[in-house]
Structure formats: structure tokens, C-alpha cells
Amino acid sequence: MTRWSIARPRTGVRAGVFLVVAGLAVAAGFTVLAGPAPATAQEAHKPGEPHDPHDATSTHRFTGVEKWVKIFDDPGRDLWQKPARVVEALGLKPGMVVADLGAGTGYFMRHLSQAVAPGGIVLAIDTEAEMVAHLGERAKKENLDNTVPVLGLGDRPFLPAGRVDRVLIVDTFHHINDRLDYLGRLKRALAPGGRLVVIDFHKKPLPVGPPPAHKLERQFVIDEVREAGWRLAKEETFLPYQYFLVFEPGSN
């Protein structure tokens, strides 16, 4: 039994990001909000002040979609990112709701869409308006009618309370400010049995990914998420450059 019916939006994607989002979200029973881009950590952090360890280590903007398409959707990425296997490890089932936080160019979107069909929904969330517009275009081009592109804020993913079965954060956790508060918001969004998955680069020199200074140690992430009231439920080790941590509400 499906939780919501999905209807293809009648308005073309190029008519606007908000029309793309609203057309799918209303059909899905979601209220979608959006707003201006938040101040970055660099803007909020004054020189000489101590840096909060729970804030972002990297605050650059992801503007210029075509540049990031070449990087994020490079066919060579599949060799080490293993998207099909990652999505399989999420344990998704038809009818589930999965949120991809920091969806970027939509690298995982097709895999997620297929995994929750029929009846499921993919919330592809990003804080860059042009990325969200691109997600809408891509969803239309690939006929991913169960995908909802959402323009979020740096401190607000705008997830519906108690409705999300999986929250996926790939190579994005280190971009989030005030993570303890953010993790609390994610916990409130989970449906019963829901899980949070954090995939990010190991903090060492690697042939792919950001410089080590932007990365977070695996154990630091585990300890931080525990501090926010989660427990490590599972860990996958098949990715060569990234840790793959699965959390559920609770403590251990």
C-alpha cells in the first residue's frame, strides 16, 4: 500500500524551481518551503573567535552547475562511489521516503527513485537554487516522477516530521553548520524505523575528494552524532575512500 499518490506536474520545469517543487510536493502531501541562501560559516565567524567544532569545515558555494556536473557526474566516479551498491545497502523498499541532503547534480537520484518505486518519494534537497533547478530538469528528462527537488537552507532541510525512512548525506556532512542542532531536526523527521546514513571522505590525502583540512575524521563523526542522541547501528566498508555510517535514534 502506498502512502501518497504521485502526479506528474503539469508545469514545465523551466517555469521555475518553485513550480517544480510545488507540483510534485502537493501531489505527495508535502508542504515545501524555501528561502534565501543562509550566511556561510565564514561570514558568521569573525577572525580571532574560536571555531565551533560542530560547524562546517568548508563553506564554499556550489555555483555554476555545468562545472559541478563534470565533477559529480564523471563516469569514473562510479568506480569508487559504487552508487548502485550504496543504494542497495540503504535497505530501501517500495513506498519509502528517502531524503538526499546535498543532492547536488542528482548523482544518486535515479538509483534512489528506482529503489522506492512504486509509491515512494525521493526528496532531493540542496541549498543552491540553480542546483535545485537542475535537479528538476534532470528529474523531468529521466522521467523520475517520484522525485521532489527541494530548496533548503543551511540550517533547515525542511523535512516533514515523522515521514522520512532514510536520510542520506553523501560528501556533505562537513558542509553543515551547527550540526548538533541539525541532527536533532533530522531525528524529528524520521518515520518509525528510520535511519540516517552519513558517507564522507576519510581525513587523509586521497586521489578524489576535498583536501584533508575540509574533512572530518570517522570517529569524530561517530562521536558527534552520538552526542546528538543517535547510535551507530551499522557500518559498511566496501567504499575505498569513504566511511559509510548508519545511525538510528538512541544512544550506545
d(CA 151, CA 93): 25
Residue 219 CA neighbour count, 13 Å, CB half: 0
Q: Mind listing the pLDDT tens digit for each residue in 168-221?
A: 999 888 778 888 889 999 999 999 999 999 999 999 999 998 788 888 999 999
Q: In what order do the strands lie in the sheet with 242-249?
A: 147-151, 121-126, 97-101, 164-170, 190-201, 242-249, 230-236
Integer CA distances (angstroms), 222 to 138, 150, 162, 174, in order: 34, 27, 23, 13
The one-letter code for the residue type at 192 is: P
Threshold 0.85, pTM exceeds: no
pLDDT on residue 64: 62
Q: How much is the pLDDT for 154?
A: 73
Superfamily of domain 64-249: Vaccinia Virus protein VP39 (3.40.50.150)
Q: What is the pLDDT of residues 215-248, one digit of tens each?
A: 899 999 999 999 999 999 999 999 999 999 999 9
The cell for 238 is 566496501
Domain ranges in the chain are 64-249
DSSP letter (8 states) at residue 156: B
